[in-house]
């Protein structure tokens, strides 16, 4: 199958599924009865009674934001304690000791913020208890938290004269119970049928045919974690090789369905937004704008990886299949590059190939995707991130015509524009500040495995991944040190909650307002013209990162070309 057909099939399936799923999600968050209400409604009611939650009592935006922060902090404490005390907890057949405090701090923040950055190899560091009760539980909870923040923003745009924006606990429970849990259950059963393991066995010992070397084959409850890591934009792998490991991704069928699962819920959120806003075309604008930006970037990455490394033919290396370094032969270039692009266009962060082995401009694309972080984005976070760009686009258009900007009938004031600007600026500030500190200190430079621009790219990628809650790694960077564990952890928590709070604040301000009737000067936000304006604003944001890209992958490309005699 050609690369173009493979990519087309993947996106065609996503589009076919996002329409019914988006409509279903709109019914879930609107509190309407759904087909799962009868079999699972009793469980929802039981959870509310046990936790003392009144599902009919809604929250002011400030209460909602505080509840979100408290929920995140308690989740951090729980998983931090699990990681530290791992050696004394059950389901630890390999007898793994607890993680060091700095690594436990980093890992706990990582999973609570839906980043799932891993400075360790899961199969040699975490017990089954840590993987299930710590990691997998947070995979559900962190995803549901991001989904709740997005739904709050949609409510803010669609409500009138409302002092409340919903109930956080109800939004989380319904998101997990009616969306994430059923989808993850079905997906995990399917993965198990294809060979993804799901057991509690001890590791299997073996003797290698080469020099009699001994080793172990890791076991564990993998399918249940892989399902939610893909669907919930989590990305933390049970194994260090992640989606390249045959126990996580054994067949071409599991590969393409995992690819689809990466973007399915983020894309469905765009359609859900249109449904809840009462104008489906508003959701299609977000999806089309995303595809307009992604398509050329994906094409560049595919082209660069299908061409051989210009330095290798002189050494009589057969590069007729393109740059296969760091890629699984069973998946090939098309699937590997598509996965690399989609996992960074979302905040998924899983991999089925090593980005560090890509050609410099091929590796540039995943890095750029992370820096955008609104092209699908994470579950929930992608929608509210894209809507921040929509507000800025509407504001810029209003300045051009000298009219107060409006979106979905709501006038935008200085407060909303300032908050939206914060959401756009904060990730870049964290990313660039973290990179600058790392390259300026011995602790930061000492972890680089590769010199010159490639090593700079490894550091830049790490802080981009942490600040935008992606979680994928460029590799080649020894990030398991106190310096990186702490600084990356700070970037993760600020990149998550410092964005969520302004989003919820805007939702509260917008919900309290009435809608105004569209007039002659109202900018239509469902047209191709507005879609192209939105794309321009998104691409304009790239100027923030262009100097750092020039120092990293672009300089790496020029050095490679010069060494091959091309300059």
Query: In Å, what is the CA distance from 249 to each residue of 239, 307, 319, 333, 515?
Result: 11, 26, 26, 16, 49
Is residue 204 within 8 Å of residue 217, measured between CB atoms? yes
Dihedral over Cα of 341, 347, 351, 355: its sign: positive
Q: Give CA torsion, residues 455, 456, 462, 465, to 10 deg.
A: -130
* Alpha carbons 500 and 479: distance in angstroms, whole number: 27
pLDDT of residue 324: 87
pLDDT of residue 381: 92
Is residue 337 within 8 Å of residue 349, measured between CB atoms? no
With 0-12 / 13-18 / 19 or more C-beta atoms within 10 angstroms meaning exposed / middle / buried, residue 30 is middle
* Alpha carbons 162 and 564: distance in angstroms, whole number: 64
DSSP H stretches of helix in 377-413: 381-401
pLDDT of residue 488: 96
Answer left, alpha or beta for residue 473, where phi above 0 means left and psi between -120 and 50 means alpha. Answer: beta
Q: pTM to 2 decimals?
A: 0.94
Secondary structure in 3-state letters for 310-358: CCCHHHCCCCCCCCCCCECCCCHHHHHHHHHHHHHHCCCCCCCECHHHC
Is residue 423 within 8 Å of residue 449, measured between CB atoms? no
* Alpha carbons 147 and 150: distance in angstroms, whole number: 5
* Alpha carbons 85 and 82: distance in angstroms, whole number: 5
What distance, in Å, lies between the first and last C-alpha atoms of the chain?
Answer: 36
Q: Which of these, 316, 323, 310, lies nearest to 356 by C-alpha position? A: 323
* Alpha carbons 451 and 268: distance in angstroms, whole number: 42
User: What residues contact 75, with CB distance under 8 A and at least 6 apart?
Assistant: 112, 138, 141, 142
**Beta pairing partners, 465:** none
User: What residues contact 512, with CB distance under 8 A and at least 6 apart?
Assistant: 161, 162, 163
**Beta pairing partners, 407:** 410
For 377, the token pair is 């984005």
How would you write the pLDDT of the chain (567 residues) with one tens digit per residue? Answer: 577 888 899 999 999 999 999 999 999 999 898 999 999 999 999 999 999 999 999 999 999 999 999 999 999 999 999 999 999 999 999 999 999 999 999 999 999 999 999 999 889 999 999 999 999 999 999 999 999 999 999 999 999 999 999 999 999 999 999 999 999 999 999 999 999 999 999 999 888 776 667 788 889 999 999 999 999 988 878 998 899 999 999 999 999 999 999 999 999 999 999 999 999 999 999 999 999 999 999 999 999 898 887 777 666 667 777 888 889 888 989 899 999 999 999 989 899 999 888 999 999 999 999 988 778 888 999 999 999 999 999 999 888 777 778 899 888 989 999 999 999 899 999 999 999 999 999 999 989 888 789 999 999 999 999 999 998 888 888 889 999 999 999 999 999 999 999 999 999 999 999 888 877 777 889 999 999 999 999 998 888 899 999 999 999 999 888 876 665
* Alpha carbons 309 and 139: distance in angstroms, whole number: 38
* Alpha carbons 384 and 404: distance in angstroms, whole number: 22
């Amino acid at each position: 199958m050609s690369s173009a057909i493979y990519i087309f099939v993947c996106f065609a399936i996503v589009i076919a599924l996002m329409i019914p799923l988006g409509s279903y999600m709109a019914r879930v968050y609107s509190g309407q009865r759904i087909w799962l209400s009868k079999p699972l409604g009793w469980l929802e009611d039981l959870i509310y009674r046990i936790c003392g939650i009144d599902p009919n009592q809604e929250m002011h935006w400030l209460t909602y934001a505080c509840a979100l922060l408290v929920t995140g902090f308690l989740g951090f404490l729980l998983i931090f304690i699990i990681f530290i005390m791992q050696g004394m907890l059950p389901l630890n057949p390999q007898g793994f000791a607890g993680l060091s405090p700095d690594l436990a701090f980093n890992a706990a923040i990582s999973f609570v913020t839906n980043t799932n950055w891993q400075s360790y190899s899961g199969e040699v560091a975490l017990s089954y208890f840590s993987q299930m009760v710590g990691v997998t539980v947070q995979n559900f909870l962190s995803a549901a938290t991001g989904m709740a923040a997005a739904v709050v923003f949609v409510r803010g745009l669609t409500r009138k004269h409302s002092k409340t924006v919903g109930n956080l606990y109800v939004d989380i429970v319904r998101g997990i119970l009616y969306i994430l849990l059923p989808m993850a259950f079905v997906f995990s059963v399917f993965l198990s049928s294809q060979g993804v393991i799901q057991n509690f066995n001890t590791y299997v010992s073996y003797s290698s045919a080469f020099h009699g070397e001994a080793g172990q084959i890791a076991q564990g409850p993998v399918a249940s974690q892989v399902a939610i890591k893909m669907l919930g934009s989590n990305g933390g792998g049970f194994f260090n090789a992640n989606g390249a490991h045959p126990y996580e991704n054994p067949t071409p069928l599991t590969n393409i369905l995992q690819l689809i699962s990466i973007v399915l819920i983020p894309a469905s959120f765009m359609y859900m937004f249109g449904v809840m806003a009462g104008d489906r075309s508003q959701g299609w604008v977000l999806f089309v704008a995303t595809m307009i930006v992604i398509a050329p970037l994906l094409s560049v990455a595919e082209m660069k990886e299908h061409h051989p490394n210009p330095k290798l033919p002189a050494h009589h290396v057969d590069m007729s299949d393109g740059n296969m370094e760091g890629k699984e032969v069973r998946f090939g270039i098309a699937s590997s590059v598509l996965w690399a692009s989609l996992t960074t266009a979302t905040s998924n962060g899983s991999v089925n190939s090593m980005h560090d082995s890509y050609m410099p401009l091929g590796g540039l694309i995943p890095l750029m995707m992370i820096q955008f972080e609104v092209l699908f984005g994470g579950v929930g976070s992608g929608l509210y991130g894209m809507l921040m760009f929509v507000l800025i686009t509407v504001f810029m258009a209003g300045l051009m015509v000298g009219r107060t900007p409006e979106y979905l009938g709501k006038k935008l004031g200085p407060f909303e524009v300032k908050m939206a600007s914060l959401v756009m600026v904060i990730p870049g500030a964290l990313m660039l500040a973290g990179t600058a500190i790392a390259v300026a200190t011995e602790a930061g430079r000492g972890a680089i495995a590769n010199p010159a621009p490639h090593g700079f790219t490894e550091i830049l990628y790490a802080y981009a991944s942490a600040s935008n809650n992606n979680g994928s790694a460029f590799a080649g960077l020894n990030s398991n040190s106190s310096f990186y564990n702490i600084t990356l952890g700070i970037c993760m928590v600020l990149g998550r909650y410092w964005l969520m709070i302004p989003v919820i604040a805007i939702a509260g301000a917008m919900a309290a307002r009435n809608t105004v009737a569209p007039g002659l000067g109202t900018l239509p936000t469902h047209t191709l013209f507005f879609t192209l304006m939105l794309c321009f604003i998104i691409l304009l944001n790239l100027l923030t990162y262009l100097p750092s890209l020039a120092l990293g992958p672009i300089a790496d490309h020029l050095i490679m070309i010069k060494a091959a005699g091309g300059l």
